[in-house]
Amino acid sequence: MNTAVAAVIVTYNRKAKLPKVLDHVLGQSARPQWVVVVDNASTDGTAEVVADYAARDDRVVVVSLDENTGGAGGFATGMARGYELGADFVWIMDDDCYPDEHALEELVNGHAKAESTLGTQVPYACSLVKFIDGSICEMNNPGTTWDWGRLISKGQQTVMVTHCSFVSVLFPRWVLTKHGLPLREYFIWFDDQEYTLRITKDAPGVQVLTSVAVHDMGVNRGVNFGDVTAANIWKFEYGARNEASYRLHRENPVAFGKFVLRLFQGLRGGRVAWPLRVRLFKKVVEGVRFNPQPEFPRSVL
Amino acid sequence: MTEKPEIHTHSQTFDVLDESGVGLTGGESLLDERERALVVGAANFHALTRPGQTIRFTVLRGPQGSLPSLTDRETGAIEWEDDREVVGSVVFRSLVHTTVAAVDADGLVDLVVDVGGSEQTASAYHQLPGLAGALRRAVRFTVPVQFDALRQYRTDLVEKRYRARDVPRKAGVRIARGASATDQGRTPAVLFGIHWLELGGAERWAVETVQLAKDAGLTPVIITDRPSGHPWITRPEFDGAVVVPLTLPLTPDHESMLLNGIMANYDVRGVHVHHCTWLYERLPWLKAIRPDIPVVDSLHILEWRTGGFVDISVRVSNVVDRHHVISPQLRDYLIGKQGIPAEKVALATLANLTAAADQPAKAVAADKPFTVAFVGRFTQQKRPYLFLKLAAELKDSAPGPVRFVMHGDGELSGEVHGLRGRLGLSEALELRGPDRDVSDTLAEADVLVISSDNEGLTLTSFEASAAGIPVVSTDVGSQASLIADGLLCPRHPYPFIRTAAARIGTMMDSPEQRERWLVEQRRKSAAFAALPDARSWVRDLYRGWNS
């Protein structure tokens, strides 16, 4: 493979699964030139695990952060580092994602074929994400375009998409130059949607069905505001604020209104306790004033 | 090609028939070497645009600070300002033929060319006209740092608006061959477009490429388009080159006549544009006439608020075959932001550095004050007043004794001297002129500061790495390629002073941290130096053109 790929793994206190992730990434049929591991200030001994890998394989580049910056901050940092290293592509994933041996190769080839068939630049290519039991991963299904089957009709196992989650996604360098990095300020949730929607403005992305990654999450369940509990509300709070901000500032007041309605219906459907509902609506109000702007990576090499 | 041995300055385009005062044929001369080279440049232009004709120049010299008039419409008028003195007269015949049939050379064309006056150094602010200009100048020089803060806000605002729009593109040339009207010359040549022949990073590189063309057996034909006295016109690299220093506006039909004259007299193997607007704008026509001639340009810096030559280049990219860029930042801008195909963009740097990573680090002498240095021209772009303000800040707040060295010269020299006194730095800050070696200053320094508003790529950063001293720099242009992440400071003046002072303070307190920054800086320098080299790239390019 002539293209230089920087794989980016963002990790936080998951040292049990991280070695398996690293083994899958380092063992790809198309070798990434760098494997950037962003340690979000883990406290469980992740640093030793990563240091051990870095000592054994000089492709491993460790970025240790002083504080937990969330998935959004971690991906922004890791993608910027890959860019600074001179990567032609960055390939990003969570610390519980096991890409198949040919996942990267299929992404790079599928992306190139899509560009040549469509005659336009394609801003990203994502994998088909499965749960550990082989079924589709509920949380990681991209949104499709109206003409999603266009490439399939040309014999390619590739679907055209409008947004996806940050589980095995390949971004060409120009996307980072032109559109910048994910919004760190989002911290967690909706950062992936915001980013992929942002970069889909000029042209859709693609999901390469022959590139498969396994997402080893605890329970195979999608995101639903009906599932809010006192224990998990901290995540939903980020989600509510981030999506409210996105719909209002990047789309329009109608999209914002529709989001609020969806939130309301979801909470009601899940019979979520009123105090929790109030907390989420406060976050929606916060989203009105919350409007972070993208950061751009530095050209170093 | 005819060449009269008695002509001092090499000419391939004209034959001197008679002259007085100019010194082209070895007689007494009232002109210095630079002025003579300007007259030759004017003669090149008029010989190329008036094939076969006999031309008489009346040569004038203007007062100090006045600019030459060599090729513009004014040269046809036989009256001049009161303060112009006549310093020469020369009659020559053009050796150029643009058509197969011979030209009637009987008529005499009389022209008046003005070589201008001696140089005057003044900043753009000094030249602002009118009351508004005077007011702006007064504010600029009374409160330079505050004024700079406003300038930076303006930069942010205009950049944001400017970058939001797409750079318009000129459509390409679809034909593979232009209808043939003239025979082409036999002497293989490169047509260069250069801003002017005076000091500048882009010009330094342009002059090198002129030499590389000669080394490859190609005659450099050089067009410049900016008003200037061209102090570099006498440099040895231009021996054997045909210099055409344009003064604008040209008579419209002279534009095509000039380029036709060049193509008739030379076998133009390639065009290399270095920051020359006039030639950029004529590239579509040139490509229409001669699509077979490869066109390359060299780009150095993305300028604030306008994009500068980079965006002019983007606009005419359809008629440029390769864009040579000297920094990863420009490569990313062209490919990533402007969507220019990657295969059209060649990154080849001017690092020209060896062994930066191997030299031992220079230790801070414990018994001497910590030395903070500025090395560079005293120009608006380099913002020497910010360094002075930083020095004043450090003098008060640094954790130990500190001294400063400013090494340079330029249009803001007066301001630098004045501010040094005003800020109470007469004792602590030493000023050095270009008569001293930069290496002396670097040898004494413990840290180098770059306070520029914008930069292409600072070669002094490489020199600092080699000399074993860390560099604190504004995070502009390609500085991130060379400077440790922690030592990159904001471009806005007050945040810059705050950050730079804090970092220098840290270095004084912690030699270990200073060493870590230096290691990172050297690692970056070494990685950068491993990128493709511009000289080899151009050498190979020209060799290809002459094969």
Do residues B501 and B386 lie in contact, with contact meaning Cβ atoms separated by under 8 Å? no
d(CA A75, CA A180): 12
For residue B351, name the pLDDT band (cuts at 50, 70, 90): confident
Digit-coded pLDDT (tens) for B87-133: 999 999 999 876 655 555 567 999 999 999 987 666 667 777 788 88
Buried b / exposed e along B170-192 (16+ C-beta atoms within 10 A): beebeeeebeeeeeebeebbbbb
Strand ranges across the sheet with B266-274: B242-245, B219-224, B187-194, B266-274, B295-299, B322-325, B345-347
Contacts of A299 in chain B (CB under 8 A): 327-329, 331-332, 478, 480-481
B480 closest CB neighbour out of A121, A177, A298: A298
Q: Is B481 on the interface with A (CB under 8 A)?
A: yes
Instruction: Name the phi and psi angles at B226, rounded to 5.
Output: -100, 140
From A179, which residue of chain B is nearest by alpha-carbon distance? Answer: B337
* Residue in B193, B141, B132, B191 with CA at minimum distance from that of residue B542: B191
For residue A75, name the pLDDT band (cuts at 50, 70, 90): very high
User: Is residue B49 assigned to a domain?
Assistant: yes
**Is there a contact between A178 and B336 if contact means CB atoms under 8 Å apart?**
yes
Contacts of A84 in chain B (CB under 8 A): 480
What is the helix (H) or strand (E) element at residue B194, kind and residue range? strand B187-194
Contacts of A202 in chain B (CB under 8 A): none
B478 closest CB neighbour out of A174, A177, A299: A299
How far apart are the CA of B350 and the nearest CA of chain A, in angstroms? 14
d(CA B503, CA B453): 19
pLDDT of residue B164: 78
How far apart are the CA of A268 and the nearest CA of chain B, in angstroms? 42
Q: Which two tokens stand for residue B171?
A: 């459509």
What is the helix (H) or strand (E) element at residue B190, kind and residue range? strand B187-194
Do residues A82 and A34 lie in contact, with contact meaning Cβ atoms separated by under 8 Å? yes
User: Is residue B175 assigned to a domain?
Assistant: no
Residue A134 CB neighbour total at 10 angstroms? 8
User: Is residue B174 assigned to a domain?
Assistant: no
How far apart are the CA of A126 and the nearest CA of chain B, in angstroms? 20
pLDDT of residue B460: 84
pLDDT of residue A254: 97
B337 closest CB neighbour out of A84, A121, A177: A177
**Is there a contact between A174 and B328 if contact means CB atoms under 8 Å apart?**
no
Q: What is the DSSP string of B131-187?
A: HHHHHHHHHHHHSHHHHHHHHHHHHHHHHHHHHHSPPP-------SSPPP-S---SE
Same domain, B347 and B258: yes
What is the value of ipTM here, to two decimals?
A: 0.91
This prediction's pTM = 0.91
Q: A289: buried, middle or exposed (CB in 10 Å: 19+, 13-18, 0-12)? A: exposed
Q: Is A254 on the interface with B (CB under 8 A)?
A: no
Q: Pick the residue with more confidence: B306 or B210?
A: B210
pLDDT of residue B99: 64
Contacts of A298 in chain B (CB under 8 A): 475, 480
Which residues make Cβ contacts (< 8 Å) with residue B467, sequence separation at least 6? B359, B362, B439, B442, B443, B445
Residue A236 has pLDDT above 80, yes or no: yes
Of B114, B130, B152, the position where a domain reaches its end is B114
Residue B1 has pLDDT above 50, yes or no: no
**Is there a contact between A299 and B528 if contact means CB atoms under 8 Å apart?**
no
pLDDT of residue B284: 96
Average pLDDT value for residue range B286-299: 96
**Is there a contact between B336 and A176 if contact means CB atoms under 8 Å apart?**
yes
Out of A260-269, B120-129, B311-320, B328-337, least confident range: B120-129
Contacts of B475 in chain A (CB under 8 A): 298
Contacts of B327 in chain A (CB under 8 A): 299
Q: Which two tokens stand for residue B334?
A: 């062209």
**Is there a contact between A174 and B480 if contact means CB atoms under 8 Å apart?**
no
How far apart are the CA of A2 and the nearest CA of chain B, in angstroms? 14
Residue B8 has pLDDT above 60, yes or no: no
Average pLDDT of chain B to the nearest whole number = 89
Average pLDDT of chain A to the nearest whole number = 96
CATH number at residue B308: 3.40.50.2000
B318 alpha-carbon distance from chain centroid: 24
Q: Is A177 on the interface with B (CB under 8 A)?
A: yes
pLDDT of residue B2: 40
Average pLDDT value for residue range B237-262: 95
Second-level CATH architecture of A5-215: Alpha-Beta Complex (3.90)
Q: Is B301 on the interface with A (CB under 8 A)?
A: no
How far apart are the CA of A209 and the nearest CA of chain B, in angstroms? 27
For residue B305, name the pLDDT band (cuts at 50, 70, 90): confident
Residue B180 has pLDDT above 60, yes or no: yes
User: Is residue B163 assigned to a domain?
Assistant: no
Contacts of B528 in chain A (CB under 8 A): 301
Q: A135: buried, middle or exposed (CB in 10 Å: 19+, 13-18, 0-12)? A: exposed
Preceding omega of B220 cis (within 30 degrees of 0): no
Same domain, B302 and B422: no
Same domain, B197 and B322: yes
For residue A122, name the pLDDT band (cuts at 50, 70, 90): very high
From A301, which residue of chain B is nearest by alpha-carbon distance? Answer: B328
Q: Where are the domains of chain A?
A: 5-215, 225-289
Q: Is B521 on the interface with A (CB under 8 A)?
A: no
Digit-coded pLDDT (tens) for B216-226: 999 999 999 99
Residue B202 has pLDDT above 90, yes or no: no
Buried b / exposed e along A15-33 (16+ C-beta atoms within 10 A): beebeebbebbbebebebb
Q: Is A296 on the interface with B (CB under 8 A)?
A: no
Digit-coded pLDDT (tens) for B503-525: 999 999 999 999 999 999 999 98
Average pLDDT value for residue range B250-265: 94
Q: Pick the residue with more confidence: A274 or B301?
A: A274
Residue B3 has pLDDT above 50, yes or no: no
**Is there a contact between B336 and A121 if contact means CB atoms under 8 Å apart?**
no
d(CA B297, CA A83): 26
Digit-coded pLDDT (tens) for B364-416: 777 789 999 999 889 889 999 999 999 999 999 999 999 999 999 888 999 99
d(CA A43, CA B112): 81
Do residues B337 and B331 lie in contact, with contact meaning Cβ atoms separated by under 8 Å? no
User: Is residue B461 assigned to a domain?
Assistant: yes
Same domain, B435 and B456: yes
For residue B10, name the pLDDT band (cuts at 50, 70, 90): very low
User: Is residue B155 assigned to a domain?
Assistant: no
Q: Is B413 on the interface with A (CB under 8 A)?
A: no
pLDDT of residue B161: 83
**Is there a contact between A300 and B524 if contact means CB atoms under 8 Å apart?**
yes
Number of domains in chain B: 3
Same domain, B341 and B194: yes
Interface A-B: count of C-beta contacts within 8 A: 38
Contacts of B480 in chain A (CB under 8 A): 84, 298-300
Q: Pick the residue with more confidence: A221 or B331?
A: B331
Same domain, B101 and B201: no
Average pLDDT value for residue range A229-246: 95
pLDDT of residue A202: 84
Same domain, B395 and B516: yes
User: Is residue B143 assigned to a domain?
Assistant: no
How far apart are the CA of B207 and the nearest CA of chain A, in angstroms? 26
From A172, which residue of chain B is nearest by alpha-carbon distance? Answer: B336
Contacts of A300 in chain B (CB under 8 A): 328, 480-481, 524
Which residues make Cβ contacts (< 8 Å) with residue A19, sequence separation at least 6? A49, A53
Digit-coded pLDDT (tens) for B492-505: 999 999 999 999 99
Q: Is A270 on the interface with B (CB under 8 A)?
A: no
Residue B183 has pLDDT above 90, yes or no: no
User: Is residue B302 assigned to a domain?
Assistant: yes
Q: What is the DSSP string of A144-157?
A: EPTTTTTTGGGT-S
**Is there a contact between B328 and A178 if contact means CB atoms under 8 Å apart?**
no
Same domain, B62 and B81: yes
- pLDDT above 90 as % of chain B: 69
Same domain, B311 and B285: yes
Out of B17-21, B22-26, B56-60, B453-457, the most confident range is B56-60
Same domain, B26 and B51: yes
For residue B178, name the pLDDT band (cuts at 50, 70, 90): confident
Task: Determine the structural domain holding residue B430 and report its residue range.
Answer: 370-529
pLDDT of residue B304: 75
Q: Is B461 on the interface with A (CB under 8 A)?
A: no
Digit-coded pLDDT (tens) for B14-55: 999 999 999 988 778 899 999 999 999 999 999 999 988 999
How far apart are the CA of B320 and the nearest CA of chain A, in angstroms? 21
Same domain, B304 and B375: no
* Residue in A205, A172, A166 with CA at minimum distance from that of residue A82: A172
Q: Which of B166, B299, B332, B349 is most worth mutating to test chain A (most A CB atoms within 10 A of its CB)?
A: B332
For residue B361, name the pLDDT band (cuts at 50, 70, 90): low
Same domain, B515 and B539: no
For residue B302, name the pLDDT band (cuts at 50, 70, 90): confident
Q: What is the DSSP string of B501-547?
A: HHHHHHHHH-HHHHHHHHHHHHHHHHHHHTSPBHHHHHHHHHHHHT-
B480 closest CB neighbour out of A174, A175, A299: A299
pLDDT of residue B6: 42
Q: Is B479 on the interface with A (CB under 8 A)?
A: no
Average pLDDT value for residue range B146-169: 87
Digit-coded pLDDT (tens) for A133-179: 999 999 999 999 999 999 999 999 999 999 999 999 999 999 999 99
Contacting B residues, span 336-355, partner chain A, CB-CB under 8 Å:
336-337, 339
Give strand pairing partners of B108.
B54
d(CA A9, CA A167): 10
